[in-house]
Amino acid sequence: AKGWMTEHLVHYQGVWLTPKAALKGLMWIQDHFKPRPTDILLATFPKTGTTWLKALIFATVNRTHYGFSDHPLLTTGPHDCFPFLDAYVYENDRSFHDLEKFPSPRLLSTHIPFTLLQTSMTDDQSCRFVYICRDPKDVLVSKWLFMNKLRPKRLPPISLEEAFELFCQGISHYGPYWDHVLGYWKASLENPEKILFLKYEDLKKEPFAVVKRLGEFTGHPFSPEEESRGVVQEIVKLCSFENLSNLEVNKTSVQKFSRDIVVDNRHFFRKGKVGDGKNYLTAEMIERLNAITSEKLHDSGLVFGN
Ligand code: A3P
């Protein structure tokens, strides 16, 4: 793939992956990862709401352990509370044994498409997934701005036109985007008890309803007593963009995904809005992306707004 943003990607079984990180991580997962029925895997395409959902699931599952005034999320970034399985695996100084010693329920996240996971993970009883997707226009713009922040400073920024063209062709980390979404979407239709399929837009619109679903799905349903105490509201507030993005830890610390991949945590918090992609894209770009999306999703039952 052309251009610094994607030139290091390789095409593996129809998916664009970084050879040193994603592909290595995938190989390890396929060969060694032993899922547990209690595992909650957060699966996402980058920039669709991973950081937000990590915080929400962590806060929901662990809510009886911590108070809201001294909650771990106030001093620890969501990515440290809820590690990437992929990165966990390819980073040399973290071993497989650590993962085995993790107490259940393990919370692990991945960007790997459902279709590339081994059957020991995709089987009915093996582990459960929460998947979140987002309007591709917002994903593309969020990703483009994110990549430009991460780019080596000796290189010029990538243009929106170039990023757009590559994204439309499916050339993006873990892309094509639509295939990623459809893989988890179809699996969630076949087995809704294994995969909870969410949309960023719904989470923005109805955070309380979605967090209650998260509670039920993860086996930690909110009791009427908790609801009357406003626990769901507390979780939504704790994990809100406004709250998380203003915490010192998320403004100043870095995320060390591996020896080579170190990202300032503040880059995971940009705007946190629905529809911001349209403020950057031209009318022609919007039309083309909408057309690709409706063609790819046409008989799937899944839709995004225009
Ligand atoms: P924008 O660039 O559109 O603002 P990921 O976590 O998958 O990398 O996705 C990052 C996107 O989610 C960014 O989108 C970021 O601002 C947004 N985001 C991060 N935390 C959020 C939160 N607590 N609530 C809503 N959106 C959030």
Share above pLDDT 70 across residues of the chain, in percent, rounded to a whole number? 93
Q: What are phi and psi of 224, to 5 degrees?
A: -55, -35
In the prediction, which pLDDT does 92 show?
53
The tens digit of pLDDT for each residue in 16-53 reads 998 888 898 899 899 889 999 999 999 999 999 999 99
In the prediction, which pLDDT does 24 show?
87
Report the separation in Å between the CA atom of 101 and the middle of ligand 1, taken as the mean of its atom positions: 30
Lowest mean pLDDT among 7-21, 205-219, 292-306: 7-21
In the prediction, which pLDDT does 154 show?
83
Closest listed residue to residue 184, CA positions, set 89, 119, 116: 116
For the chain, give the mean pLDDT: 92
Structure tokens at 267: 């880059």
Q: 302 lies in a domain?
A: no
Share above pLDDT 90 across residues of the chain, in percent, rounded to a whole number? 78
Q: What are phi and psi of 62, to 5 degrees?
A: -100, 20
CA-nearest residue, atom 5 of ligand 1: 47
In the prediction, which pLDDT does 1 show?
45
Domain CATH for 131: 3.40.50.300
* 133 bridge partner residues: 199
What is the arithmetic mean of pLDDT over 139-149?
96
The tens digit of pLDDT for each residue in 216-255 reads 999 999 999 999 999 999 999 999 999 999 999 999 998 8
What does R_g of the chain's alpha carbons equal in angstroms? 19
Query: What sign results for the dihedral spanned by CA atoms 39, 43, 47, 48?
Result: negative
Atom of ligand 1 nearest to the CA of 145: 2
In the predicted structure, residue 5 carries a pLDDT above the cut 70: no
Question: Which residue range is the domain that position 76 belongs to?
Answer: 10-296
Residue 297 vs residue 2, higher pLDDT: 297
Q: Give yes or no for a contact between 114 and 27, defined as CB atoms under 8 angstroms apart.
A: no
Structure tokens at 297: 């999703």
Q: 301 lies in a domain?
A: no
Atom of ligand 1 nearest to the CA of 138: 3
pTM: 0.95
- Could you tell which of 45, 50, 51 is best to mutate to test the pocket of ligand 1, judged by most ligand atoms within 8 Å of the CB? 51
Q: Give yes or no for a contact between 107 and 40, defined as CB atoms under 8 angstroms apart.
A: yes
Q: Give yes or no for a contact between 73 and 47, defined as CB atoms under 8 angstroms apart.
A: no
List CB contacts of 191: < 8 A, sequence separation 6 or more. 124
In the predicted structure, residue 2 carries a pLDDT above the cut 70: no
| Predicted confidence band of residue 156 (pLDDT cuts 50, 70, 90) | confident
Structure tokens at 72: 């771990």
Q: 236 lies in a domain?
A: yes
In the prediction, which pLDDT does 4 show?
60
What is the arithmetic mean of pLDDT over 171-192?
97
In the predicted structure, residue 125 carries a pLDDT above the cut 90: no
Q: Which amino acids are annotated catalytic? A: 111
The tens digit of pLDDT for each residue in 82-114 reads 988 887 666 655 556 678 888 899 999 999 999
Query: What sign results for the dihedral spanned by CA atoms 100, 103, 104, 108?
Result: negative
* CA dist list (Å): 44 to 51, 53, 109: 10, 10, 8
Structure tokens at 106: 């393990």
* CA dist list (Å): 291 to 204, 219, 287: 24, 39, 6
Helix, strand or coil, per DSSP, at residue 89 = helix
Interface ipTM > 0.95? yes
In the prediction, which pLDDT does 113 show?
97
The tens digit of pLDDT for each residue in 76-85 reads 999 999 988 8
Q: Give yes or no for a contact between 129 and 195, defined as CB atoms under 8 angstroms apart.
A: yes
Is residue 297 exposed (0-12), middle (13-18) or buried (19+ Cβ within 10 Å)?
middle
Q: What are phi and psi of 31, to 5 degrees?
A: -85, -35
Counting the structural domains of the chain, the total is 1
Q: Give yes or no for a contact between 167 and 140, defined as CB atoms under 8 angstroms apart.
A: yes
Q: For residues 27 and 17, what is the distance between their CA atoms, to the nearest angstrom?
A: 12
* 295 bridge partner residues: none
Is residue 240 lining ligand 1, measured as CB closer than 6 Å? yes
Q: 304 lies in a domain?
A: no
Closest listed residue to residue 52, CA positions, set 240, 232, 279: 240
Q: 3 lies in a domain?
A: no
| 152: Cα separation from own chain's centroid | 24
Closest listed residue to residue 75, CA positions, set 66, 64, 85, 86: 66
The tens digit of pLDDT for each residue in 190-221 reads 999 999 999 999 999 999 999 999 999 999 99
Q: 198 lies in a domain?
A: yes
Q: 175 lies in a domain?
A: yes
Question: In the block, which residue shows the tokens 């179809």?
Answer: 186
In the prediction, which pLDDT does 91 show?
60
Atom of ligand 1 nearest to the CA of 240: 23
Structure tokens at 9: 């990607």
Q: 4 lies in a domain?
A: no
CA-nearest residue, atom 25 of ligand 1: 272
